[in-house]
Amino acid sequence: MLRSLLFLGVIGCSERAEPVVPAAPLACSDAGGHSDVASVVAAAVAFRSTLTDEQRAKLDLPFTREVATMWSNLPVGLVPRRGVRLGDLDGAQTKRARALIAAATSSCGRKLVNELRLADDLIAPLDRDPQMHMDWGAGNYFIAFLGAPSASAPWELQFGGHHISLNLTFNGHLPSATPMFFGAEPVKFTTPDGKAHAPMQRQSMAMGALANALAVHPDAHLSGTFTDVVKGVVIIREEGKPPSGGYDTGYPFAWDTTDRGMLVGKLAPDEQKLVREAIESYASLPGDALSYPLIATYEMALGETYVGVAGGNDLAKSGMYVRIDGPRIWMEFIVQDGVAFPDIPHYHALWRDKLADYGGELK
């Protein structure tokens, strides 16, 4: 188990265009990977070289719409995953897998993945209900290559398990780090070594601050109530049965032109800053080769971007929901009822790009 808990220990895209460099470095750039295609391909090839033929057969998948859109945030006991299971890797393979994820994510992204797996090990002993059969645990996360890792041809690195799905596309029509789902239960915990963890602290604080700002603006209030993110995979719920499903019917993205909240341009400057901080808290999870152009694109369109809130502004209350909805950007955050700890709410978050999901490559 120790090896699985230390999977992402401290280690130190392409639109075929000039790289976008922000005025100031992102908070997550320090000691993180850059997600530049050359580094990720090198790490992917090195990882693949350590695998057996049987493992490579599981790793290598076609980059098709049918395969790419099969992902989920549910535990693997409810929705099985494709690819190579981390818990089945030996020491050398684990080291290469760790290096691959590190190359593709920022320091914040790597930390998020590591802490979500730690949280899953924490709740694994609570999986006692034979009807649910969650299969929580740090070993139940999977890596898959959709298409062959290449410096020029489109391909996708898929990493996922309970509460996380990374779909990073390289050499696509547009820089792409989406769809990206992440959630956390519990939202705060302490490991046996005495270290405190809060996997989604940056995102929850940023979205919570935005919710507080929007609460005083009637135009920002969305109608209805929310129980989950609304543009994730389809989850099938039948009475008396555990939830199931893992098909991204949200691609290609379609959305309403009404009930979107209020335009960012109508917010005060300090409130607009909160929107930018919330965007960066999500978009800086991949390395900066993906983050920089995406953040720049989203910020250029802030004048046409809407923000909305529903269910109050209390991070400890289920139903609190915040959304950023622009010409391309779609970011959601919701506080949900607990599952492993029914009396303690937990978080779900989703980031999509209306044009660049899967690199804009799926037909």
In whole angstroms, what is the distance from residue 301 CA to residue 96 CA? 38
* Residue in the block written with tokens 């075929």: 16
Model pLDDT, residue 24? 58
Residue 151's CB is within 10 A of a number of other CB atoms, namely 13
Model pLDDT, residue 10? 32
DSSP 126: G
β-strands 321-325, 329-336: how paired? antiparallel
Model pLDDT, residue 5? 39
Model pLDDT, residue 310? 98
Nearest to 247 by CA among 68, 61, 58, 64: 68
User: Reduced to 3 states, what is the DSSP secondary structure of residue 128?
Assistant: coil
The whole model's pTM is what? Answer: 0.92
H or E segment to which residue 279 belongs: helix 269-283
Give 335-343's long-range contacts (Cβ < 8 A, gap of 24+). Answer: 335/311, 336/183, 336/227, 336/228, 338/185, 338/186, 339/185, 340/123, 340/126, 340/127, 340/136, 340/185, 340/186, 341/123, 341/126, 341/185, 341/186
pLDDT tens-place string over residues 173-186: 999 999 999 999 99
Q: Where are the domains of the chain?
A: 2-360
β-strands 60-61, 141-146: how paired? parallel
Model pLDDT, residue 129? 65
Nearest to 141 by CA among 200, 101, 81, 190: 81
Model pLDDT, residue 133? 80
pLDDT along the chain (363 residues), means of 10: 38 36 65 91 98 98 96 92 97 98 97 97 84 87 98 98 98 96 97 96 98 98 96 84 82 90 97 97 96 96 97 96 98 96 96 97 89
